[in-house]
Amino acid sequence: MTITSIPHAAALTPGERATLDALCDCLFPPGEATPGAVAIGASAYIDQALAGPYGGFLEEYRTVLHCLDVAAGGRFTGGDSQLPLVDALERNTLPGLLSNPDRSSFDLLIRHLREGLFSDPVHGGNRDFAGWKAVGFPGAQFGYREEEQQVDHRVDRAPQSLAGLSQDARLPGLPKTTPRAKIPAHPDILIVGGGAVGNFMAAKFVAAGLEVVILEAGPSRTGRERSMDELLATAFRNEGGVSKFNDEVPTWRTGPNDRARRAVMSQGLETALGGNSVAWGAVAMRFYEDDFRIRSATVEKYGESRIPAGSTLADWPMSYGDLEPFYEEAEDLLGVSGHAGNREHPERSRGNPFEAPRSNPYPMPALRTSGLGQLFADSARAEGYHPFPLPAAIATTAWKGRHACTYCSFCSRFGCHVDAKASAQNTVLPAALESGRLHILTSARAMEIVTDESGRAVGIRYLDEDGQTQFQPGGTVIVAAYAFENSRLLLLSRDKRHRRGLGNETGQVGAHYMTRQQPSVYAIFEGRTLNRFIGPTAQAMAIGDLSGDHFDHSDLDFIRGGRIAAFNQYLPTEASGVLPPDVPRWGKAWRDFFLSSYNSTSMLFIDPEILPYENNRLDLDPNVKDRLGRPVIRITFDIGDNERKLMQFLQDRAERIAIGMGATRTWRRQFLTGPISTHDVGGTRMGNDPQSSVTNGFGEVHDTPGLVVLGGSSFVSLPPVNPALTILALALRAADNIIGQSSKANRSGRGARA
């Protein structure tokens, strides 16, 4: 199959198009050696997009263009007033603009302009690769050699578009789903959500002889979709969320007395088969030992007074030792590459010397070290730290029918074109479907968890692909969606015993919400080429020395810590919005900065530990609804003083590392980076006490028999570690518990592990 360009339709009148052309060339003007936005094709891209996927923005564009013409005295296309009027547009003071509480019209326009400049030409912009040539990005390449990742190596490749690539002949077919008429009437297990949690649990259930039905709101897919297309994978376009998430983006406020606004410029989420397991970055780290007893360990060492005011910090209802066998099981299923840490001799460790004890090595060696990673490692080591390559669910050798990583430019937020990166589709799903006991119903949007007269969960009421309401019973009902949907579905499901929503008799659903903040330090290495666009995000060097309580906090005014790492994957559309404070986001200064610094910019990525607080929670927004008329989730989230002090500490250390790497300029990202990070956790916290949690340690809801809730929403805390591996380990452990309770599984002799 060859990907071809979209039709060259247009939405604007000739006069409107002339004004748009003039505006775009003000935003990205022609230079002596660089074409402007119009010559690159950015305005043509916008016009075509307004006739297609961005048709919903057409009236807003027409209003902007009309306001510019009126303010210019009739025609914006000439005269000396253009730049002041663009400045007024950016400041949202241009008379006549539409009011939007969530973003400005300029935010929308500059985003679309950047897409037209730097996305694949298949979408109608970046004419003759002019945008890519200007920054030195080779586009859609199947992979890169090791020497091409070295610092100062000139990558000598002609830019390549998706339109010129023939897709892999081995492209798998869509996973087989089940027509509604053939779905079992009374399956043993009914799962809401066909993402990683649902599919990995289902694989265990069918192996134990149980009949399973998964209700997936989105469509089926191979897992290789958008494998090399930055535009469709970006958070703003987010093709993976078209069927559901893009219509129900949560609202956000920092405090309960603030007005919530839609988080439309935040991270997008996937709502299709495989969920975020298709688009994840694949960093697969275990939590540290003391992460599971975070409160008691802090109190034992520093005293109760060190717990921050307002924090709901608590221990997990299990130990690391309880979860370790399931970490190993998850690593084997995913195919994780990495080096085990040497705790006895950290100076000789190839891996993380602070990692918790493990029974066996990683299944495969770690991803290779890039030139940027080596710069980071050398500088970090000079500071006394112990750098290590992040473990990743990416094959570095052939693994169970999957190809080794080719180190292409597209990984996090993309499907993998060779299946090197693990997803549900290329790990557990094929064998589970082959069993004949797994039945997946797509385009089935769960609306309500149904209970019987006793209050026990007995099934799900859902909308089918025709918009008709259906009911699917199940023996055990498992809600395994993303953190937002897990809480929302519980709050929307009510009966005479649960007037506030299932699981919410003590008001705990939605409480203890946490989301990752990323107060990174950016660094420019003037005159050097980093080739950071090559390689997966997870091909990173990191330090764990400043995580958790790996350093003494006795004389510090905060607790806990964070991870610092140097990541790869730096794609031009998103990178064009990464600017130091003194560089404007449009005009000649923006153009010159980005064109000169794209391949010389790095980011030291900081993952601070985020504590739970009374202030932070999820609930139903009383004012904002999705297209079905159902309230979206409202996020109330802010960081505490503890996190602000911690972030300052981590930024200071990261900046020292960057300077040691040879950075000629650094700047810091703000502390509060917003909601929705794909590390969104909490809302259905695990715990032994129903007064402070929603489920027990196996995800069983305290006040609703027969109902299990699992996923990131189960988390008690958010350590400075990517959550995916722990989410899977918790799910596999819970699956064993359910199997152990199942009479059918026990009769088959396939009960829980000893």
Q: Domain holding 462: CATH number?
A: 3.50.50.60
Residue 616: how many CA atoms within 13 Å on its side-chain side? 24
Q: Give pLDDT, residue 477.
A: 98
Statement to judge: residues 185 and 107 lie in one domain: no
Statement to judge: residues 131 and 18 lie in one domain: yes
Q: Are 211 and 189 in contact (CB under 8 A)?
A: yes
pLDDT band at 312 (very low <50, low <70, confident <90, very high): very high
Statement to judge: residues 123 and 229 lie in one domain: no
Q: Whose structure tokens read 């999705």?
A: 626
Q: How far apart are CA 747 and CA 223, in angstroms?
A: 36
Please provide residue 471's backbone torsions phi and psi, each rounded to the nearest 5 degrees: -125, 130
Q: Give pLDDT, residue 749.
A: 55
> Looking at the domain assignment, is residue 647 inside a domain?
no
Who has greater pLDDT, 168 or 151? 151
> Looking at the domain assignment, is residue 226 inside a domain?
yes
Q: Are 192 and 480 in contact (CB under 8 A)?
A: yes
Q: Give pLDDT, residue 240.
A: 86
How many domains, in total, are found in the chain? Answer: 2
Residues 6+ apart with CB under 8 A from 348: 342
Least confident among 55-64, 476-485, 547-556, 744-753: 744-753
> Looking at the domain assignment, is residue 37 inside a domain?
yes
Burial letters for 450-473: b for 16+ Cβ neighbours within 10 Å, e otherwise? bbeeebebbbbebbbeeeeebebe
pLDDT band at 1 (very low <50, low <70, confident <90, very high): very low
DSSP state of 247: G
pLDDT band at 4 (very low <50, low <70, confident <90, very high): very low
Burial letters for 364-389: b for 16+ Cβ neighbours within 10 Å, e otherwise? bebbebbbbbbbbbebbeeeebbbbb
pLDDT tens for 322-370 read 999 999 999 999 999 999 987 777 677 789 999 999 999 999 999 999 9
pLDDT band at 168 (very low <50, low <70, confident <90, very high): low
The percent of residues in the chain predicted with pLDDT above 70, rounded, is 97
Residue type present at position 545? D
Q: Give pLDDT, residue 753.
A: 37
Q: 648 pLDDT exceeds 60?
A: yes
Q: How far apart are CA 109 and CA 90, in angstroms?
A: 10
pLDDT band at 748 (very low <50, low <70, confident <90, very high): low
pLDDT band at 224 (very low <50, low <70, confident <90, very high): confident
> Looking at the domain assignment, is residue 147 inside a domain?
no
Q: Give pLDDT, residue 430.
A: 95
pLDDT tens for 262-276 read 998 788 888 999 999
From 135, 166, 195, give the residue that closes a domain.
135
Please provide residue 68's backbone torsions phi and psi, each rounded to the nearest 5 degrees: -65, -45
Statement to judge: residues 110 and 210 lie in one domain: no
Share the mean pLDDT of the chain: 94
Q: Are 706 and 735 in contact (CB under 8 A)?
A: no
> Looking at the domain assignment, is residue 156 inside a domain?
no
Q: Give pLDDT, residue 745.
A: 64
> Looking at the domain assignment, is residue 734 inside a domain?
yes
Q: 752 pLDDT exceeds 90?
A: no
What's the full length of the chain, in residues? 754
Statement to judge: residues 24 and 113 lie in one domain: yes
Q: How far apart are CA 226 and CA 433, in angstroms?
A: 24
> Looking at the domain assignment, is residue 323 inside a domain?
no
From 102, 135, 168, give the residue that closes a domain.
135
pLDDT tens for 454-511 read 999 999 999 999 999 999 999 999 999 999 999 999 999 999 999 999 999 999 999 9
Q: Give pLDDT, residue 170.
A: 54
Q: Report the pLDDT averaged over residues 208-217.
A: 97
β-partners of residue 139 are 160
pLDDT tens for 437-454 read 999 999 999 999 999 999
Q: How far apart are CA 176 and CA 171, in angstroms?
A: 15
> Looking at the domain assignment, is residue 187 inside a domain?
yes
pLDDT tens for 571-625 read 999 999 999 999 999 999 999 999 999 999 999 999 999 999 999 999 999 999 9
From 135, 169, 195, give the residue that closes a domain.
135
pLDDT band at 293 (very low <50, low <70, confident <90, very high): very high
Q: Give pLDDT, residue 622.
A: 97
Statement to judge: residues 105 and 194 lie in one domain: no
Q: Are 420 and 406 in contact (CB under 8 A)?
A: yes
Statement to judge: residues 55 and 123 lie in one domain: yes
Statement to judge: residues 197 and 268 lie in one domain: yes
Q: Give pLDDT, residue 696.
A: 98
Tokens of 81: 């007033």
From residue 638, how far is each of 235, 512, 674, 680, 694 by CA, in Å? Answer: 22, 12, 8, 13, 22
Q: Give pLDDT, residue 747.
A: 67
Expressed as residue numbers, the domain containing 221 is: 180-276+422-513+682-747
Tokens of 185: 């009437």
From residue 252, how far is each of 216, 255, 508 by CA, in Å? Answer: 26, 9, 19
Q: How far is CA 621 from the centre of its chain?
A: 23
Q: What is the maximum span of the chain, computed from C-alpha positions, in angstroms?
A: 84
Statement to judge: residues 188 and 77 lie in one domain: no
Q: How far apart are CA 117 and CA 572, in angstroms?
A: 9
Q: Give pLDDT, residue 235.
A: 73
Q: Report the pLDDT averaged over residues 682-706.
A: 98
pLDDT band at 173 (very low <50, low <70, confident <90, very high): confident
Q: How far apart are CA 502 and CA 490, in angstroms?
A: 5
Q: 744 pLDDT exceeds 80?
A: no
Q: How far apart are CA 85 and CA 87, in angstroms?
A: 5
The radius of gyration of the chain from alpha carbons, rounded to an integer in Å, stands at 26
Statement to judge: residues 102 and 207 lie in one domain: no
pLDDT tens for 108-165 read 999 999 999 999 999 999 999 999 999 999 999 999 999 999 999 999 999 999 888 7
